[in-house]
Amino acid sequence: MSKITTARLQAMKQAGQKIAMITAYDATFATLFEQAGVHSILIGDSLGMVLQGEASTLKVSVDDIAYHTRCVANGSKNAFIVADMPFMSYSTPEQACASAAALMRAGAHMVKLEGGDWLADTVAQLTRQGVPVCGHLGLTPQSVHVFGGFKLQGREAEQAEQIKRHARALEAAGIQLLVLECVPSQLAADISRELRIPVIGIGAGPDTDGQVLVMQDALGLTSGYVPKFTKNFLAESGNVRAAIETYVAEVAEGRFPGPEHSFN
C-alpha cells in the first residue's frame, strides 16, 4: 500500500472509494492492519475501556495516547494515523495546541476532537499551526454523562439539524475529516453528500465515505454488551489478518455495514 495522506483520502471520497479505518494501540497490530489494507489507524481514547478496563474514556490522558501513538507509528509506515485528543485536553485553543503537539511528535498525522461549532476557533488555530484535524459528532463518548449513556443521536428532526449545522461549521473552520457515531443512516448520508471532506461512520449506516471500528469489536474480543453496529469478522475468517482483509473488502464493496448494523 502506498502512503495514505489527507490528499489521498480526499481523492478517495471524490472517486467514490470507501475508506477503511480501525483502531490500534501497538506496533504489532498496526503492521498487520496496514498489511491487510487498512487505510487509516485511529489511536482512540477507547483504549481507556478496552485496554485499561475503565467504564468510560474519561480517565485517558494525553500521555496515554502519545505512548500508544508512538507504538502504532513504529509499526505502520503507510497508513494514515489519527490520534484522539482526550477528555479536557483541548478546553482552550492554547491547551489544544500543546496537546496536539505531543501527539504529532509521537507520530500522529491528524488529531481528533469531539464536539460542535464551539470548537471552531480551536480547529482554526490548530490548522494555522499545521495540525490536521478530524471532527467527531453524534455520540461523542467524552460527553457520555451529558447524554445519560451511550445513546443514538440525531433521531429527532431538531437534533439532526443541529448536527448538520455543527458539521458545516467544523468544515468551515478547517477540519479535513469527520467521524459520525451512532446517528441515523439517512442523516449520515445527507451530511456525507453535503460536506466536501470525507465522512467516516461508526453506527452511521452504509452511505458515509468510510467506516471505523474498534479492533476488539471487529475481532470479537469483547465481553458483555456488543454494540449493534459491530461485526465479528474473525468468526468468519479464522485468523486476524484474514478478518481485517474481509473488513476492508466489505467496506469497499458496501456490504458492511448492513441494515442489521445501522439505525433508521
228 in a labelled binding site: no
pLDDT tens across 4-60, in order?
999 999 999 999 999 999 999 999 999 999 999 999 999 999 999 999 999 889 999
**Assigned domain for 95 exists:** yes
Evaluate if residue 141 carries a pLDDT over 90: no
**Would you say residue 154 lies in a domain?**
yes
Question: Residue 247: is its pLDDT beyond 50?
Answer: yes
Q: Is 12 within a domain?
A: yes
Q: Is residue 195 part of a domain?
A: yes
Q: Which three cell numbers stand for residue 138?
A: 453524534
Q: Is residue 1 part of a domain?
A: no
Domain assignment of residue 224, yes or no: yes
The answer to whether residue 23 is domain-embedded is: yes
By residue range, what is the domain housing residue 53?
A: 6-261
Does the annotation flag 46 for ligand binding? yes
168-198 per-position pLDDT tens digit: 999 999 999 999 999 999 999 999 999 999 9
Q: Does 62 fall in a domain?
A: yes
Task: Return the pLDDT at 147.
Answer: 47
45 is in an annotated binding site: yes
Peptide bond into 141 cis (omega under 30): no
114 is annotated as contributing to ligand binding: yes
- Catalytic residue flag (residue 181): yes
Domain count, the chain: 1
**φ and ψ at 233, to 5 degrees?**
-75, -20
Annotated active-site residue in 34, 171, 181, 250: 181
Evaluate the omega torsion of the peptide bond into residue 93 and state whether it is cis, within 30 degrees of 0.
Answer: no
Nearest Cα to Cα of residue 206 among 185, 228, 180, 190: 185
CA 183, CA 201: separation in Å to the nearest integer?
A: 9
Contact 63, 103 (CB under 8 A): no
pLDDT, tens digit, 9 for 90 and up, residues 81-137: 999 999 999 999 999 999 999 999 999 999 999 999 999 999 999 999 999 999 999
The CATH number for 45's domain is 3.20.20.60
